[in-house]
Structure formats: C-alpha cells, structure tokens
Amino acid sequence: MTGLTNPLLFARFAHMHPSRCQSLPMRIRVGTVLGLASAAAALGVAHLLAGLVGRAESSPVLAVGSATIDLVPRWLKEFAIDTFGTADKLVLLIGIVVVVAVLAVVVGVASVRRPEIGFASLALAGAIGVIAALSRPSAQPIDALPALVGAAAGAMTLRLLHRRLFGQASNTESDRIAPTSLDGVSRRRFLAGGAVALGVAAAAGVTGQFLSRRSQAVASRARVGVPSTVASAAPVPAGAELGIDGLSPFTTPNADFYRIDTALLVPTMTAEEWRLRVHGMVDQELTIDFEQLQARPLIERDVTLACVSNEVGGDLIGNARWVGAPIADVLADVGVDPAATQLVSTSVDGFTVGTPVSALTDGRDAMLAFAMNGEPLPIEHGFPVRMVVPGLYGYVSATKWVVDFELTTFEAFDPYWVRRGWAEQAPIKTQSRIDTPRSGGQVQAGEVVVAGMAWAQHVGIARVEVRADDGEWAEAELAEEDTIDTWRQWKLTIRLGRGARRLQVRATDAEGVTQPESRAEPFPDGAAGWHSVLIDVA
Ligand SMILES: Nc1nc2c(c(=O)[nH]1)N[C@H]1C(S)=C(S)[C@@H](COP(=O)(O)O)O[C@H]1N2
Ligand SMILES: [Mo]
C-alpha cells in the first residue's frame, strides 16, 4: 500500500525504461497495484450493494467471516475467544482482509503478464463469496448478488488497468511475451487509474458500511418488542383533543415529530449492541444492556418535548407517549454522591448533555425511554434508547442514542451546547401559540375560531387569553389536561370585523405566572414573548 502513496516510487516508474517492466521487481510493483485495486473494487462494490439492498450479512467479507466461524473447530473458536475476547470477530475480519490482500498481490503479480489468472481468481473469489452468503441460515437468493457484482467490478477494474498498462492489444500473445508500450505515459495512466479505482472502492465501502449499519439498526428495531409489564399511563382524555381543523394534534405522530440533532449521519446501533455505563461520582458503577433495561420497573408517560431553538410560534415541539425506565431508579442503584450536581449523558456519536441531578430525582418522570407512541424509538429519535425529562429543553435533557451517564458537577464539565454559549440550566419557558388562523391567512368577517397550543412544562396551564389588535383579552376554552408535562389545546370564537387584524395569545401557568410580553430570542435559554398572527378579515 505504501507504494501507492509514495510519490518517489511513482517517479521511479516514470523513469524506468520499458524493457525493465519485464524485471521481477517492476512486475511486483505493477502487480501489487493491479491486484490490490481490483480486489478493493470487488469488495468495495460488494459491500455497497449489500448495504443498498439492506442485506448487510451478504457482504462477502462478513459472509466469509460468518461461514468461517461455523466451520472452524471448537478448540480454535475457544482459543480465539480466550486470546482476543470480545475483539475476536474484529480480529477475524481483519484476518480475512489481510489474507485477501496477500492473495490479491500474488494474483496481481501473476496477472501482469497473464491477466486470465486474475479473471479466474476473481471468478473463484466471487463463487466463494456467493456460497458463503447463501450458506447463512437466514439467506435469501438476493444474497448472491453482492459477491457476483463485486467480482464483476473487480474484473472490470483489472481489465481497465491492464489496458492502461499495455494498451488495447494486451491480450495478444506477443504482448504477453514482450510488452512494448510500457512507457512513462502508460505507467502514469496506470497509476492514476489504480488510485481512482482505490478511491472509488473506498467510497463504495464506506457508503456500504453506513447503509449496512442502518439496515442492521432497522432490523434490530423490528426485533425488539415493547414489554407489557409497564406501569401504563391513563389513556389520553378524550377532551384533550378539540377536533379543530388546522390545530396540532395532541399526540404528535412519530413521522411528524420535529427532529433536532448534530448528527450528519444518523447514529445507527442495534439494541443488542447497546450498553449504558453509569459512572463518575457514584458508590458503585453499573452497566445496563437492553434486556436488563427492559426488565427494570417501567413507566409509560406522555411528555411534551421542546427545543430551545423554538421561536415564539415555532414548531420545534411535539408530544408523545414514551415507555422507559425511571432514571431515578438507576441513580438509586448506583448510589449518587450528594456532591454530584450534574449528570452528563453522552450519545454513541459523542454528543454531550448536562442535566441537573435534582431534575432527575425530584419525582418527575425522567426516563431512559425506548418506545415512542407504541413503537420502538424511531432511529432518528434515538433508537435504541434516549433520555426524556419533563420540563427541560432537549439540549439539557433529551440525549438520543445515549450510552454513557457520568455523575459530576456543573463546575467540572461543560457539555456540547453549553460550550457554545447556551445556558447551563434550561427549563422550558411557558409558551402559547396560535395554530389557526395561520399568519397571512384570510378569514370571513363574523365569528372566527382561533385555536392553538399552550404549555407550561411540569407546572401546567391555568389560563390562555387571546385578543384582537389592542382590544380586551378574552379567555379561551382549554382542552382537558392530560398531565402537567404535556401541552394543551385551546380555542376561542371571536367576532372580527373586516380589515387587517392582529391576533395575540398569552398563557398563565398553574402558579399564576403569565408569559411576559417582552420578546427574547432563543439564545441563550429559550424564546419568550407573546405569539401574534396577522390576518386579513374579508
Ligand atoms: N445524541 C443527540 N441527542 C440529542 C441531540 C443531539 O444533537 N444529539 N439534540 C438534542 C436537542 S437540541 C433536542 S431539542 C432533542 C430533539 O429530539 P427529537 O429529535 O427526538 O425531537 O434531542 C436532543 N438530543
Ligand atoms: Mo434543541
């Protein structure tokens, strides 16, 4: 491999006399590039295809790895586990790749003069890949495809590179004996072709890996159930839904639930891989796997989640029914040092969140959630496990794909968004929003139904008021309360005369505190102010 990245070696190709290509060292160098590029193209394309068709296990390296595990004698399996522990599978995969690379170099060198050796080897490798893939217990006919297409891609790469080296006529007997066209231009074209092939192979492999990981997570999500041994929430009261056109539903369907995260590619892990490590300022460290989490006492709760970036009137908020294990129980199990003030949770992709320990132990239903609206967590919303803490903005509470809990202090650690200037403590501010009529909309003069949502997390809404222009505030009718941790619909019918009108809303929480009129931007601890909509009454 170093030969490929070493410009000095390229230069040496370029300066060598054509006749020297017949020398063994030259054949080895050219053959190494030829063999590695073709093999990489074959494996990269096969891996991409396995990912594309959502059959991760049919990728040749994985299929051959699994077949090897089935075939090796017990003593060797035990030796591998004793020696490499949980890394045994990784060691096996690396071993397969190394063997393939060595074979590729040997075959590549032989193929410089006799490309048919390369084609035959690729066909044989393809056949092994097909047999390995089809030998899996859950195999389907389509699992033959990645190895077949991979072998074809490898053969095309071999052919293209060989042509670059020796020109079109490389298959003739005379060229085999004495290639005459291996001049500096051919060598440079050959090396450039080899570099392109390796680049394409790497890109295909990485993309395939991402798609495979995703399909594995999707398959894992289809396997996990939602246990029935749950302290169920009361059904959502029928009166929580006012049934008005244009009003947000009380429960936000998963597909419509807002999504906010820093992940360029959605982290994908399986429930089987998932572990939560709880450590730091605790008496006794603890690691929980998915089965153990599901075996804990579980609760089902409706909780409204809100993003700190939600503008006044914005839609970065949603309400769902979650199932999970109370975080307070987990903290009780590990024994939290009374000096610990902050729980730092980390996702599998390294995103960090800092939550006050007090908010996790004050009796509210903070949970390690694994189900959302009756389904396993959607992958985008944190599969297999996320945090949900009533009353706190997502960036200080709602870690998706969570894998680590560290008990610490606020002084000791600044999590992701706090490092970027957002507030360390961020309870959700009381807000209200007009959903209908929409801003900029037109309505008929006369009786107009105004409706929207209001929330005062973990306190509850007591009153919502609406006014037109700078008129008197009128009290809206509130939908039935589900819990103090959920938002609430409201509606009001008012008489409006013709013209441009401005409607405004404000909410008062159960402690008697009314939303302040003065506007605040989301940064650094959440937007404030009254929502208003401008409408045209015709
Ligand atoms: N791993 C991870 N978890 C995360 C985030 C993130 O960027 N990465 N964003 C947080 C923020 S800012 C919010 S508002 C909520 C949003 O959750 P949702 O996407 O399920 O609506 O997730 C929180 N959890
Ligand atoms: Mo957020």
Cβ–Cβ under 8 Å, residues 433 and 247: no
| Secondary structure (3-state) at 57 | helix
Return the ligand number nearest the Cα of 404. 1
Question: What's the pLDDT at 529?
Answer: 98
Cβ–Cβ under 8 Å, residues 129 and 60: yes
Structure tokens at 502: 């401005």
> Residue holding tokens 């008990």?
407
- Atom 1 of ligand 1: nearest residue by CA position: 400
For the chain, 538 residues long, give each residue's pLDDT as a single digit of tens: 344 444 444 444 443 333 445 678 888 999 999 999 999 999 999 999 999 998 988 999 999 999 988 888 888 888 888 888 878 888 899 999 999 999 999 999 999 999 999 999 999 999 999 999 999 988 999 999 999 999 999 999 999 999 988 875 444 444 444 444 466 778 888 999 999 999 999 999 999 999 999 999 999 999 998 887 788 899 999 999 999 999 999 999 999 999 999 988 899 999 999 999 999 999 999 999 999 999 999 999 999 999 999 999 999 999 999 999 999 999 999 999 999 999 999 999 999 999 999 999 999 999 999 999 999 999 999 999 999 999 999 999 999 999 999 999 999 999 999 999 999 999 999 999 999 999 999 999 999 999 999 999 999 999 999 999 989 999 999 999 999 999 999 999 999 999 999 999 999 999 999 999 999 999 999 999 999 999 999 9
Global confidence as pTM: 0.84
Question: What's the pLDDT at 168?
Answer: 56
Contacts of 292 (CB under 8 A, 6+ apart): none
Determine the Cα–Cα distance for residues 530 and 518; give it in Å rounded to an integer. Answer: 8
Q: Is the CB of 420 under 6 A from ligand 1?
A: no
Q: Is the CB of 347 under 6 A from ligand 1?
A: yes
Determine the Cα–Cα distance for residues 401 and 411; give it in Å rounded to an integer. Answer: 25
Question: What's the pLDDT at 403?
Answer: 98
**Closest ligand 1 atom to the C-alpha of 401?**
1
Ligand 2 mean position, distance from CA 306 (Å): 7
152, 158, 160, 161 alpha-carbon torsion, rounded to 10°: 160
Pocket test for ligand 1, best of 260, 265, 352, 429 (most atoms within 8 A of CB): 260
Contacts of 28 (CB under 8 A, 6+ apart): 109
Cβ–Cβ under 8 Å, residues 201 and 40: yes
Could you tell me which of 519, 528, 277, 248 has the C-alpha nearest to residue 406?
Answer: 277
Query: CATH number of 238-420: 3.90.1150.10, 3.20.20.70, 3.90.420.10, 3.40.50.970?
Result: 3.90.420.10
Residue 289: CB atoms within 10 A of its CB come to 14
- Atom 16 of ligand 1: nearest residue by CA position: 260
Question: What's the pLDDT at 119?
Answer: 97
Q: Is the CB of 307 under 6 A from ligand 1?
A: yes
- Atom 6 of ligand 1: nearest residue by CA position: 261
Cβ–Cβ under 8 Å, residues 468 and 503: yes
Phi-psi region of 332 (alpha: psi -120 to 50; beta: other; left: phi over 0): alpha
Phi-psi region of 281 (alpha: psi -120 to 50; beta: other; left: phi over 0): beta
Per-domain boundaries in the chain: 3-212, 238-420, 431-537
Question: What's the pLDDT at 22?
Answer: 60
Question: What's the pLDDT at 84?
Answer: 86
Cα angle 200, 268, 342 (rounded to 5 degrees) comes to 130
Determine the Cα–Cα distance for residues 444 and 536; give it in Å rounded to an integer. Answer: 9
Which residues face 446 on adjacent strands? Answer: 496
Return the ligand number nearest the Cα of 398. 1
Q: Is the CB of 351 under 6 A from ligand 1?
A: yes
Core vs surface per residue 360-369: b (16+ CB within 10 A) or e = bbeebbbbbb
Ligand 1 mean position, distance from CA 477 (Å): 32
Ligand 2 mean position, distance from CA 167 (Å): 59
- Atom 12 of ligand 1: nearest residue by CA position: 395
Q: Is the CB of 498 under 6 A from ligand 1?
A: no
Cβ–Cβ under 8 Å, residues 535 and 439: yes
CATH fold for domain 431-537: Immunoglobulin-like (2.60.40)
| Secondary structure (3-state) at 60 | helix
Question: What's the pLDDT at 485?
Answer: 98
